[in-house]
């Protein structure tokens, strides 16, 4: 593959529009081309720095006609050849034949040979998907369906394998916000994109891509504000609070959840219960024991009045097992830090016993926490039995949060090296975590 040095040189001869004394970046060129295509062709495209990189590396030699028009105009040249662009049909056929031969040889030689193939270039799209210039009910429904699909994946397996896929879908869906849309549907459009942004952010959080998660959450929150949707706003702020609590910033998490509880009268009982639970988890990390217990009581009181018929669709996850698991997590911190007599164990046990297969991650995490609780404060033999079952369940997940919970269980198990079952569990966890 021969790099297109000519294209790169022409780009670098133009000044950056944002950075003084620098040349135009790949992303700047992509943005200018997208703008030209919209202004001149009335079409939305999503070219990015990655696409420009493919041109400069020679992966793409002959973009389609609209792109070539835009590149010539933006880079101020008269012909395609001045940009090193020309059709290579015969050469492309040869390259395809070579790639097929490489693939067949790799299939015979095994995975080692396959790993040496330029797989990313082979499967990288050469033509970005065009974004509709007009958005209606169909496009909004497509965003919602995509969101529901990724939610089910996240609950079942964690964010590890699919977070880049949902991020790509979010980038594509965000372009819809710039398209023409009937005024009566604009609120629904922003709310739908906001919901997808929340899922993308949470999957990034689950894999510890924390900066990505925060950026997605902020974008989604802005969409929720634009939609004037208090329900998705509360859901987003709860997710943002969960992330901050996890990242050892419980004070920041408490701030987010307090923001979500402003005008709590506009929220459903289920939403208020969920927010009170997140608040309790932040207070537990801050070791504000009595306030944490009060927040758990408020969550229980609100949940007693929950009516799923009143809830938005995304709140379906916060069912009875989830409520028990989340409150059990908050009370766990009190039990292990202050030796307080709490209901953490029965709540976590209820969550483990009643979570359905659709919520495999929540069930596995509650099971790991229950094992850790018994290992820290109760019977290490019982804890080891629970931990073995939890470890088997967690093996299907791709969640770094679940992995860290396993590490926590290993630390508690390490205190009982004189108990063979605990020592065996500790060793097995370390093997699984190291393999992961």
CA pair distance 143, 200, nearest whole angstrom: 12
In a domain, 431, yes or no: no
What value does the mean pLDDT take over residues 29-43? 84
Count of beta carbons in the 10 Å neighbourhood of residue 372: 25
Whether 378 is in a domain gets the answer: no
- What pLDDT shows up at residue 20? 73
Dihedral sign computed on CA atoms, order 135, 138, 141, 145: negative
In a domain, 236, yes or no: no
CA angle 155, 160, 163 (to 5 degrees): 85
**How far is CA 36 from its chain centroid?**
32
pLDDT in tens, 227-271: 999 999 999 999 999 999 999 999 999 999 999 999 899 999 999
SS3 112: helix
Q: How far apart are CA 315 and CA 312, in angstroms?
A: 6
Residue scoring higher pLDDT (82 or 103): 82
Task: Among 18-32, 83-97, 321-335, name the one with the lowest average pLDDT.
Answer: 83-97
- pTM of this prediction exceeds 0.85: no
- What mean pLDDT is predicted for residues 40-61? 83
Which three-class secondary structure string do you get for 228-297?
A: CCHHHHHHHHHHHHHHHHHCCCHHHHHHHHHHHCCCHHHCCHHHHHHHHHHHHHHHHHCCCHHHHHHHHH
Q: Is residue 415 assigned to a domain? A: no
Cα–Cα distance between 208 and 366 in angstroms, integer?
19
Rounded-to-integer distance, Cα 174 and Cα 219, Å: 9
pLDDT of residue 361: 87
27 part of a folded domain: yes
Find all residues with CB under 8 Å of 138, minimum gap 6, and list them. none
Average pLDDT value for the chain:
87
- Residue 3 sits at φ, ψ, to 5 deg, of -65, 150
Q: H/E element holding 115?
A: helix 111-115
- Domain range for 75 is 5-87
Residue 174: band (very low, low, confident or very high) from pLDDT cuts 50, 70, 90? very high
* Number of domains comprising the chain: 1
Quick check: helix, strand or coil at residue 134? strand
- The residue among 423 and 394 whose pLDDT is bigger is 423
Nearest one of 259, 266, 227, 223 to 240, comparing CA atoms: 259
In a domain, 31, yes or no: yes
Domain-embedded: residue 368:
no
Q: What is the pLDDT of residues 194-226, one digit of tens each?
A: 999 999 999 999 999 999 999 999 999 999 999
**Residue 9 forms part of a structural domain:** yes
pLDDT (tens digit, 9 = 90+) per residue, 307-326? 999 999 999 999 999 999 99
Q: Choose among 367, 364, 380: nearest CA to 412.
A: 380
Model pLDDT for residues 183-196, shown as the tens digit of each residue: 999 999 999 999 99
């Amino acid at each position: 593959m021969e790099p297109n040095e000519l294209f790169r040189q022409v780009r670098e001869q133009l000044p950056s529009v944002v950075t003084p004394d620098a040349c135009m970046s790949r992303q700047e060129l992509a943005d200018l081309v997208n703008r030209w295509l919209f202004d001149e062709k009335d079409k939305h495209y999503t070219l990015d720095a990655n696409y420009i990189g493919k041109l400069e590396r020679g992966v793409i030699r002959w973009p389609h006609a609209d792109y070539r028009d835009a590149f010539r105009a933006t880079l101020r040249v008269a012909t395609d050849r001045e940009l090193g662009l020309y059709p290579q049909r015969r050469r492309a056929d040869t390259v395809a034949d070579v790639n097929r031969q490489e693939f067949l040889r790799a299939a015979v030689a095994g995975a080692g040979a396959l790993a040496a193939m330029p797989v990313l270039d082979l499967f990288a799209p050469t033509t970005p998907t065009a974004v509709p210039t007009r958005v209606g009910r169909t496009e909004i429904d497509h965003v919602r369906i995509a969101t529901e699909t990724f939610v089910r994946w996240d609950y079942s397996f964690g964010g590890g394998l699919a977070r880049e896929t949902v991020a790509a879908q979010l980038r594509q869906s965000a372009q819809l916000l710039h398209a023409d849309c009937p005024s009566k549907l604009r609120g629904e459009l922003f709310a739908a994109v906001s919901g997808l942004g929340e899922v993308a952010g949470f999957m990034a959080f689950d894999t510890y891509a924390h900066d990505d998660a925060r950026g997605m959450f902020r974008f989604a929150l802005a969409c929720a504000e634009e939609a004037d949707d208090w329900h998705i706003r509360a859901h987003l702020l709860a997710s943002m609070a969960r992330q901050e609590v996890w990242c050892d910033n419980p004070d920041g998490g408490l701030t987010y959840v307090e923001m979500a509880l402003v005008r709590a009268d506009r929220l459903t009982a289920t939403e208020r219960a969920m927010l009170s639970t997140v608040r309790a988890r932040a207070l537990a990390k801050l070791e504000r024991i009595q306030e944490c217990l009060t927040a758990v009581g408020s969550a229980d009181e609100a949940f007693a009045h929950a009516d799923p018929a009143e809830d938005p669709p995304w709140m379906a996850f916060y069912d009875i097992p989830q409520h028990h698991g989340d409150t059990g997590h908050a009370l766990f911190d009190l039990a292990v830090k202050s030796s307080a007599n709490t209901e953490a164990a029965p709540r976590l046990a209820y969550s483990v016993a009643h979570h359905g297969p659709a919520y495999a991650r929540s069930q596995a995490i509650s099971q790991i926490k229950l094992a850790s609780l018994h290992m820290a404060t109760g019977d290490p033999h019982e804890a080891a039995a629970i931990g073995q079952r939890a470890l088997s369940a967690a093996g299907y997940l791709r969640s770094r949060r679940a992995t860290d919970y396993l590490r926590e269980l290993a630390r508690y198990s390490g205190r009982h090296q004189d108990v063979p079952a605990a020592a065996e569990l500790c060793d097995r966890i370390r093997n699984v975590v190291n393999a992961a």
